[in-house]
Structures are given as structure tokens and as C-alpha cells.
Amino acid sequence: MCAAFQAAGGQGLTRRRALLSAPLLLSKILESFVSKLGSLKAEIPALMETPGDKDKEVNDCKLIVQNIVYGMKTLLFSILYCTRMVNAIAAAGAGGPPPPPTVGQQQGGMGDSDVRTCARLLTNGLACSRIVAYWGDCKEFCEHFAEIFTVMDVRDFVDVFSVKMGALVAMVVAEPDAMMVATHLVQSPVVGR
């Protein structure tokens, strides 16, 4: 019986340790994906210079961009959830289970480095939307890209967009498809309020 108790206690400690390291791992994944979008952003103009000659490369690049962006909302939600759980565990101390976190709480948002990474995501992702627009299916992509930012806490959202508002406006002027992102954000019940 004592051995079973010790085993159960050890599992709880292992779970707690895993939960505490989860936000760091997820942040590294976020950083990797945003860096990849930055690399693709630099390559896209050369790919699009000679249409027809590089259709396979352009299509491959488009698929990479779409896969990264389509998984990003889940990744940000996971970062927020894990961060809130870590904060709840720290607040609860050693006693009892922590209360479940909820999306939209003011406290327990992303760390500063994740907010800076999301600001880069905004500019890199919008720049990469050109490759998706090349194939004519940019509307769904832009709406999904805008949805990424709706899972963020209000404070984090304001921090990201206050830093990159000039870049967003410049992108909307240069790329008409980027206007869909701005429109979707304004019409979103979560962000537009």
C-alpha cells in the first residue's frame, strides 16, 4: 500500500514537472514556426518573379505557409492554457487541484517573448499571404490567419498590434488581400469589442 502511494505521488510530481515545462516547449515551437515564416517571406519574391517556371516550388511554399498558419491558433491556445495552468498551480501552492483556466481572462496571458514572437507572426504571416493569393484562395487563409489572434488575451492582443500597427497598415496598402485580415479582426466579437 505504501509503495502504491509513493508511486502515485511520483506520478503527480512528474505530471507537474511536465506541465511546468510545457509552456517553454510550446514557446520554442512558436518561435520555430514564426522563424520559418520569416525565411519563407524572404524567399517568396524570388519564387514569384518568374511565374510558370517555378510552379512546383511556389505550390510547395504555399502548402508550408498554410500548414504553419492553420496550426498556429491551436498552438497559441495551448501556450495560453499551459501558462494559465502553471500560474494556477503556483497560486494554489501545494494544496488541492488548481481551478481550470478560462480563455479571455485578463491575468495569466503569454510571456513577453511570446508576445514579441506573435508580433513577428503578424508581419511574417501577412507577407506570406502573397504566395497563397498567387493561387487565388487567399480569403479562407486570411480569415484563418486573423482567427489566430482572437484566442489571445486582450492585453497581449493590444501589445502585439500596438507595436505592429504601422506595418499592418502598410501591408494593407501594399497587399489588398491583407485587408481581409483587418476586416475579420474588426468584425470578430472577441476582438472587435
Tens-level pLDDT at each residue, the chain (193 residues): 334 334 444 455 576 676 678 888 999 999 999 999 999 999 988 888 876 778 888 889 999 999 999 999 999 999 988 888 877 777 776 455 555 545 444 445 788 999 999 999 999 998 898 888 887 778 888 889 989 998 888 888 889 888 888 888 888 888 777 788 888 888 877 766 5
4 belongs to a structural domain: no
Gap between the Cα atoms of 42 and 32, Å rounded: 16
Gap between the Cα atoms of 157 and 148, Å rounded: 11
1 belongs to a structural domain: no
Burial of 91 (0-12, 13-18, 19+ CB in 10 A): exposed
102 belongs to a structural domain: yes
151 belongs to a structural domain: yes
What is the number of structural domains in the chain?
A: 1
Pick the closest to residue 141 from 66, 84, 86 (CA basis).
66
Q: Which amino acid is at 23?
A: P
**Domain region containing 34:** 13-187
192 belongs to a structural domain: no
5 belongs to a structural domain: no
Per-residue DSSP letter, 152: S
The pLDDT of residue 75: 95
Query: Mapping DSSP to helix (H, G, I), strand (E, B) and coil, where does residue 103 land?
Result: coil
Per-residue DSSP letter, 143: H
131 belongs to a structural domain: yes
